[in-house]
Amino acid sequence: MSMTEQRSTSALLYLSGVTVSFDGFKALNNLSLLVEPGEMRAIIGPNGAGKTTMMDVVTGKTRPDEGEVVFDGKADLTKLDEADIATLGIGRKFQKPTVFENHTVRDNLLLALAGLRSWYKLLLAAPTKAENNRLDEILSIIRMEPQQHMLAARLSHGQKQWLEIGMLLAQDPKLLLVDEPVAGMTDVETETTAQVLREINKTHSVVVVEHDMSFVRALGVKVTVLHEGSMLAEGTLDQVSADPRVVEVYLGR
């Protein structure tokens, strides 16, 4: 490509030949990956496969040594910092929930929705009608209307995860990155989380990293298997589960 030429792609997220080395060890090794607009993609793979590093590259936390990372057909994420990338519309939920324990579920969502609105203003000014409608919508999507006036401190682990997914949704990112959302959840909570993410995927693109196979099956979306920093296989869960290489390094163990 010439200096002025822009990479043109219809993909929402485009990784090509991405390599990340830590002291010579390649956590990502020539990784290429495409996520289409509106898609939900599940990323699976054994411990150390590079899933977290891939998310870190997309959010600007880690700079790749080589390769291209393009968002929304135009933005070269390798040139931007974390704040710029968040502003472009990439939101991330980490594995451990970080909600404001001393506020209600609804106020946690309002804080996320209002973004830069100060705590002071939050306490004094009532939410607008539009804000209240959006809060109702999000509460419905995360299935937490009954708990909306509860303090976040009193929520179960699963409910905290859903609240945090709701807080991410409140920021209305174009792409949601969700890291191991069902770790530590019961089977029923896991099933609900799959339904919540499917609902969110009606209006948002999602990349979700998860080990739990019953959850990935319930998502019912295209799966990418990472191994040693590269893509090993891609397809439906049935397709990748039948791939002998996937069985060998991951599923068969």
The alpha carbons of the chain give a radius of gyration, in whole angstroms, of 19
Nearest CA to 231 out of 41, 20, 38, 49 is that of: 49
Binding to ligand ATP by CB under 6 A, coded x per residue (else -) over 114-153, reads ----------------------------------------
Cβ proximity of 31 and 18 under 8 Å: yes
CA separation, residue 176 to residues 23, 86, 117 (Å): 30, 10, 22
Instruction: Choose, by CB under 6 A, the member of 12, 13, 27, 110 that binds ligand ATP.
Output: 27
CA separation, residue 154 to residues 95, 123, 146 (Å): 19, 21, 13
> In whole angstroms, what separates CA 109 from the centre of its chain?
18
Quote the least distance from Cβ 5 to ligand ATP, whole Å: 31
Nearest 10 degrees: Cα torsion 217, 188, 166, 198: 30
51 binds ligand ATP (CB under 6 A): yes
44 binds ligand ATP (CB under 6 A): no
The nearer residue to ligand ATP, 108 or 230, going by C-beta atoms, is 230
Measure the CA–CA gap between 77 and 71, rounded to whole angstroms: 7
Contacts to ligand ATP from residues 53-72, by CB under 6 A: 53
Quote the least distance from Cβ 46 to ligand ATP, whole Å: 7
User: Looking at 49-57, 126-134, 137-145, 167-175, which segment touches ligand ATP (CB under 6 A)?
Assistant: 49-57
Quote the least distance from Cβ 26 to ligand ATP, whole Å: 8
Contact positions vs ligand ATP (CB under 6 A): 22, 27, 45, 47-53
